[in-house]
Each structure stands twice: as structure tokens, then as C-alpha cells.
DNA sequence: CTGAAAGCGCTTACAG
DNA sequence: CTGAAAGCGCTTACAG
């Protein structure tokens, strides 16, 4: 292009980048020609020189998880708005894959990494090592063992809201279906459950605290069956994921248990099932977009700043969406007039 | 690294790449040192020199669409296995965004592009122009106006299977809920529907061919209401997406129509709803992984080959999963003994 | 206001 | 078997 215009490469470069020191006339001439020959700047060469790729690496455990899509949408759009591209890897919840993928991202020269951890991340050391090479932010599936900024929903508060809502509708014996304590997320939600009970002076009853390795519809159904077999049945069930709540409702309906009057159900995630299953499922709405956006914004800030100090944990607030599985509007007036 | 070892940069490079002309001794020495200092090759510099980025660009219309996750999983894992990274953009079904994103991908120097078109892609010209710059493969949402290799599920055959199944269970008046003819996918499924009717000598009745702009549960419900209001009701409904079938079932249940004996329902996509709604929904299973894999494999082939000729359209076969919304096992024996 | 030159980190033909 | 040098496409201090 330079020689076609009879000027130097430097001038072309400066004209294209609107350098203050170039005459408007030259700029116009260069830009016009660039458009004519459909000149495509080589972002690679640019990045190569500046040691910036403008690529953000994202590693997630499971792309088919519905919530992941919402997170990714937030990440991708926010990154795009800021001139970054996003490279995505799926660790398939494998520890080894996760480490390997992070390594190739570094090799690739990503400017920063967003990581959502596998269910049970053992080799934290390798991840700590990573932070030496590149800005890192954990999101959604985090770990307090890694010193870096972390973005999550406020799980504890969310669970607290859900359980308090049940208490406010008159429930006194609230069961929880959660995962085993290896799941960080599950634990935080469990804490919110405990906090709500404590705050309302409700005794914790171990017999209605159900834990499983891996929740699913079937598992929710199984655990509910156990709860129904108890002498002293619960009057509400809070599940830490919607799928389990769907299972719970299935099992309750099978046993002709009235929902919500006999046993109310609240889930978590406000997934699409909520409005499909009958009765519609009350659930915690998680603003996945906002988590993604926030994580990207903090990451870009870190990329641009020199010092990577004072890491924070940002907790995004959620909101409870009340539906018929936990609250029957017909009886609302009665309740309110009490 | 070179000077620490007292050898030239060239030799280090060759040793690391297992060049045949380097002594085993030197190789070992270099590799040992590389491991010690945790040397990370700069993939960028490599790519810069070889004009290859080993990045594949992917543009999809809607990341929250469930099927997209499956496609992406296939794409990402296959790319990874072949040493490629994947950059993802979401066009949000916007034509302008799509074009812009494709352009920045080119600027970025991706080695190839996988594209799933927006619902109504008008500016095909811009996309055609793209193919001049980089190998392109269309997948899932394709268009015959673009000369390139395309990978889709065999929609026509899938719909044919679904409708033939209904015919085989004794249904004679089969409605379809589809989208307007601007949707390529919808049209292909509609053709399968027509083909099945034709092949079984069933007359096409325009009054039970329902089209809408954008299908959803509500829309499925609305269209079903219309069908139920007909003098001559259909005895089966085939919907080109599951959501619409979910709406149909809701509406049928509301009107106490027996499923499948009075009206059977078959959906498309085998989404997670199928096993949640009662009765469970029969549906076409689309192997998203395989579409993704296949698209990546063809793209890599094109990237590596010099000539980008003989484009093909690859149609991935689907299978129908029969559930209670279209077939009642209790009556199966009767039917078979007829 | 513009140009010549160095340099980003690698690979590879060329020379020895 | 190894080294010196060129070059990938850009940007930017330096010089004029």
C-alpha cells in the first residue's frame, strides 16, 4: 500500500491510526486507498509487537449446563464491546484437562484468563502457578484457595431468601436437598439455609438434610422418597438446583401430596423447567449475564493495570421468583390478614 | 535461553522442534533446560511467521439455544484435538453483527470460519466476499446461496421419519406447526412432512398447516388452540421444534384431549423437556456433537489443502425417539396384531 | 509533517 | 551438526 501511494510504511501506519502528527490530507488519502483495496490490518502482527493478543481465555467445566450459556453470553458480549476476543475451552470437569487447557492458553498468549473450576479441583498449585504468568479471575465455580479476584452469585444470601420466604409462608420444617460438602456452591447455599433457620429460631434437623454426590431429576426424586418415608415429614423442600426440585415435585405428585399446602418446593437457578412443570416452580434467578460481564470487566482492568494486588470477591445479588410451588395466591389473602 | 546454554537461537529452536539435524545430546540439554526455566514458546510469534494462527472462528446466532451447546461441545473438542483454538461470537440473530463479527475474525487472522447463519440473512454478498479471504464452512443454519461446504442434520429425512411414525401408528390427519418460509430449517422439515404424506397417499390439507414467525411454548399453545377449533380436528401434531410441542401438549391437556389416542404429538430436537412434560414427548434426536465434529474436520481439511473446490453438503442422520406422546405401549400389542 | 531503522520471537534457507 | 541472517507486518522512538 505504501508504495502504491508513494509514501513510507510508517506514514501509512500513522495515518491509519489517526496519529496527531499526520496531515489530514495524507490521512484521507491513505484511508481512501485502504478502503479501496480492502486493506485488512494484520491484528496478529500488531499483537506480536505489543505483546498483547486481545484474547481472553475462558475455561468452563461444562458447556451444556444451561447456566453456562448465560454466563458465556455475558462474557462474550462484554469482551467484544471492549475489543477482546474470547477463546473457550471445556474442561469436562476433568482436573487434568483443566490444567492442560490453561497451559495452552498461556502458550497462546492470552491477555487474561477467566476460569470456572471443575467440581473437585485438586491441583490448585498448578493454577496458582498460572497467576504468575497472566491475570486470572475465577467466576461461578470458585475456590478461596486461589489468591485472585473472584466473581460469584451471592449463594448464601440467595438460599437465605428462599428459605426465609418459606418460613414467611408459614413453613416450619424445611428440608434441603444439596450436594456433598465437596461442592463449594452447594456449601454456600447450605450456609444460607442454616442462617435463615437460625435467624428464625428453627432447630436444625439432620434427618431432613439430604446430600448426594451429583444431583439430577432422578436423584431429587429418590431423596424426596426418603423424606416422604419419614415419620415426621417436612412441610417444605428447598433444593440447591432446579433439576432436583423437578424430581421432588414429580415424586410429591406421584404420592398425591398437595403442593404447596402440604409440602412446598423451591428450586435454584430459575431454569426453563420452572414454568413448564406443574405447579410452576419457585426459584432463585441468577443473573448469569451480570456475572460474565463483571468478571470480564475486572479482568480487563487487571490486564490494563500494572499491579495485580488487592483481589476482591464480588458477590452478585439474586432474586427469588415466587411461583405456585411455594405460594398459592388464592390463600394469600388469608395469610396476609392473619 | 540460548545464551544461558551457550548455543545459538537457531539451534535451540531446532532442538525444541526435534529437527533431524540436531544431535540427541544437544536436544536433551536444551529440553532439560527448557523444562527447568519453564520456557513457554510464544505461539504468537510462531503464528506470525507462518501466517497461521491455529484459531478457528465460530459465529452462532444464539448461544442460549440448547442445541448450540451441543454443537459447540463437538466443535471445541474436535478443534482442541487437532491443535486449534476456537474463538466464539454470538450474532444475536442480527445481520449487521454477523457481518461485523466475521470481519473482525478475518482481521484477527483466523485460519478458518464456522458459521451458523442468522434467521434471515440478507447480505449474503458480504459473506460471499468472506470466502475470498478464508476457508468457510456453514453448519446447522445454512444457505444454499453460499458456495461452500455445509453441514446440517438431514432435516427432511428426520421430519419424514417423524411423520411416517405417526402414519404407522394409524394417524391419518397430521397437522404441522412450523415457521414461516423464511426459515430454511423449517422449510426442510416441512418438505419431509410433505414427502411422508405423499408417499403414503395422504392428501395435504392447508387448514392444518400452521406457520408462525417465531415458535415458542406460547405460540405452540396458540396454534393448537386454532387446530382444536376446527370442525375437522387433526389426529396428530408434528411440531418442528420441541418448545412448540410442549405448548401443544399443554393446550391439549387443558382441553382434556387424550394424548396420543385422540391427538398424538411429536417434537423435534429431543430437548430436556421431552422427559419432563407428561406425557413424555416423542422427538427427533439431533446429534449436535457430530455436526460440530464434522464441520471442524472439513474445515481443517480445507485449511490444509490448497484448492478450495468441490464443496459438499453433508447431512447428518438423526433418529426418532418414541415416547408416550405418540405411542402408547399398552395398545402396541393391539396395533401389531391388527 | 514525514522517513529510515530497529525490534517484537520465532523459523528456515544458506553457508560452513 | 551448528551459526548468522533474513523476514513475517506492524509500531514507534529518533532524526530531520
B155-286+321-337 under CATH 2.40.390.10, yes or no: no
Q: Give the tens place of pLDDT for each residue, A13-42.
A: 888 888 887 888 888 888 888 888 878 888
Secondary element (H or E) of residue A58:
strand A55-60
The shortest C-alpha distance from A307 to chain B (Å) reads: 22
- A277–B273 C-beta distance less than 8 A: no
- The residues pairing with A86 across neighbouring beta strands, listed in sequence order, are A56
Q: Which of A126-140, A193-207, A214-228, B204-218 has the lowest mean pLDDT?
A: A126-140
3-state SS, residue A160:
helix
C-alpha closest to that of A159 among A248, A282, A328, A60: A282
Q: Give the tens place of pLDDT for each residue, B82-114.
A: 989 999 999 999 999 999 899 888 888 899 999
In whole angstroms, give the CA distance from residue B241 to residue A130: 44
Specify the CATH number for A53-153+288-316; select among 3.40.50.300, 3.30.1340.30, 3.60.15.10, 3.40.50.2300: 3.40.50.2300
Same fold, B51-153+288-316 and B155-286+321-337: yes
What residue has its CA nearest to the C1' of D5?
Answer: B10
What ranges do the domains of chain A cover? 2-41, 53-153+288-316, 155-286+321-337
In whole angstroms, give the CA distance from residue B237 to residue B228: 11
The shortest C-alpha distance from A195 to chain B (Å) reads: 33
CB burial of A257-294 (b: ≥16 within 10 Å; e: otherwise) equals bebbeebbbbbbbbbbbbebbebbbbbbbbbbbbbbbb
Q: For strand B112-115 and strand B313-316, is the pairing parallel, antiparallel, or unpaired?
A: unpaired
Q: What is the Cβ-side half-sphere exposure of residue B57, based on CA atoms within 13 angstroms?
A: 29
The shortest C-alpha distance from A111 to chain B (Å) reads: 12
Q: Which three cell numbers stand for residue A24?
A: 489530514
Secondary element (H or E) of residue B314:
strand B313-316
CATH superfamily of B51-153+288-316: Response regulator (3.40.50.2300)
Look at residue B28 and tell me whether its pLDDT is greater than 80.
yes
In whole angstroms, give the CA distance from residue A231 to residue A227: 9
Q: Could you tell me which residue, B141 or A184, shows the higher pLDDT?
A: B141
What is the DSSP annotation of B145-175? Answer: TS-SEEEEE-HHHHHHHHHHHHHHTT---EE
Q: Could you tell me which residue, A170 or B49, shows the higher pLDDT?
A: A170
Number of H helices and E strands in chain A, helices first, is 13, 12
Q: For strand A55-60 and strand B149-153, is the pairing parallel, antiparallel, or unpaired?
A: unpaired
Look at residue B336 and tell me whether its pLDDT is greater than 50.
no
Look at residue A115 and tell me whether its pLDDT is greater than 80.
yes
Cis peptide before B279 (omega within 30 of 0): yes
What is the DSSP annotation of A34-53? Answer: HHHTT----HHHHHHHHT--
Q: Find the mean pLDDT for residues B24-29.
A: 84
Question: Is the CB of B10 within 7 Å of strand D?
Answer: yes
pLDDT for B71 equals 95
What is the radius of gyration, based on Cα positions, of chain A?
A: 26
pLDDT for B338 equals 39
C-alpha closest to that of A327 among A208, A132, A134, A168: A168
- Distance in angstroms: CA A56, C1' C4: 36
- A86–B41 C-beta distance less than 8 A: no
Quote the mean pLDDT of chain A. 90
Percent of chain B topping pLDDT 90: 63
Q: Which positions in strand C are less than 7 Å from the protein's CB atoms?
A: 1-5, 7-13
pLDDT for B12 equals 87
List Cβ neighbours of B132 (8 Å cut-off, separation of 6 or more). none
Look at residue A121 and tell me whether its pLDDT is greater than 80.
no
Taking the C1' atom of every nucleotide in all shown strands and the CA of B40, the nearest one is C9
- B45–A44 C-beta distance less than 8 A: no
Q: Give the tens place of pLDDT for each residue, A195-242.
A: 999 999 999 999 999 999 989 999 999 999 999 999 999 999 999 999
Amino acid at each position: 500500500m505504501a508504495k502504491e501511494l508513494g509514501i513510507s510504511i510508517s506514514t501509512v501506519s500513522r495515518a491509519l491510526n489517526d496519529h496527531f502528527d499526520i496531515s489530514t490530507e495524507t490521512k484521507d488519502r491513505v484511508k481512501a486507498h485502504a478502503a479501496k483495496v480492502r486493506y485488512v490490518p494484520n491484528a496478529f502482527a500488531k499483537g506480536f509487537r505489543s505483546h498483547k493478543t486481545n484474547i481472553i481465555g475462558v475455561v468452563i467445566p461444562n458447556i451444556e449446563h444451561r447456566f453456562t450459556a448465560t454466563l458465556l453470553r455475558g462474557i462474550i458480549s462484554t469482551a467484544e464491546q471492549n475489543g477482546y476476543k474470547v477463546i473457550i475451552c471445556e474442561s469436562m470437569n476433568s482436573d487434568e484437562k483443566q490444567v492442560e487447557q490453561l497451559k495452552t492458553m498461556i502458550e497462546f498468549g492470552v491477555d487474561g484468563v477467566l476460569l470456572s473450576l471443575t467440581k473437585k479441583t485438586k491441583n490448585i498449585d498448578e493454577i496458582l502457578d498460572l497467576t504468575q504468568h497472566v491475570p486470572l479471575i475465577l467466576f461461578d465455580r470458585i475456590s478461596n484457595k486461589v489468591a485472585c479476584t473472584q466473581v460469584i452469585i451471592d449463594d448464601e444470601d440467595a438460599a437465605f431468601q428462599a428459605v426465609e420466604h418459606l418460613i414467611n409462608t408459614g413453613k416450619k420444617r424445611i428440608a434441603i436437598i444439596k450436594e456433598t460438602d465437596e461442592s463449594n456452591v452447594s456449601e454456600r447455599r447450605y450456609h444460607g439455609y442454616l442462617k435463615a433457620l437460625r435467624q428464625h429460631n428453627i432447630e436444625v434437623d439432620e434427618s431432613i438434610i439430604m446430600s448426594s454426590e451429583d444431583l439430577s431429576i432422578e436423584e431429587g426424586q429418590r431423596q424426596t422418597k426418603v423424606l416422604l418415608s419419614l415419620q415426621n415429614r417436612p412441610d417444605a423442600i428447598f433444593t440447591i438446583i432446579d433439576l432436583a426440585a423437578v424430581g421432588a415435585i414429580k415424586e410429591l405428585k406421584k404420592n398425591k401430596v398437595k403442593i404447596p399446602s402440604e409440602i412446598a418446593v423451591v428450586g435454584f437457578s430459575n431454569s426453563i423447567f420452572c414454568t413448564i412443570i406443574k405447579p410452576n416452580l419457585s426459584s432463585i434467578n441468577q443473573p448469569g449475564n451480570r456475572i460474565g460481564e463483571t468478571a470480564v470487566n475486572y479482568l480487563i482492568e487487571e490486564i490494563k493495570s500494572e499491579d495485580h494486588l488487592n483481589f476482591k470477591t464480588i458477590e452478585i445479588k439474586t432474586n427469588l421468583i415466587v411461583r405456585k410451588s411455594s405460594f398459592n395466591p388464592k390463600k394469600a389473602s388469608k395469610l396476609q390478614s392473619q
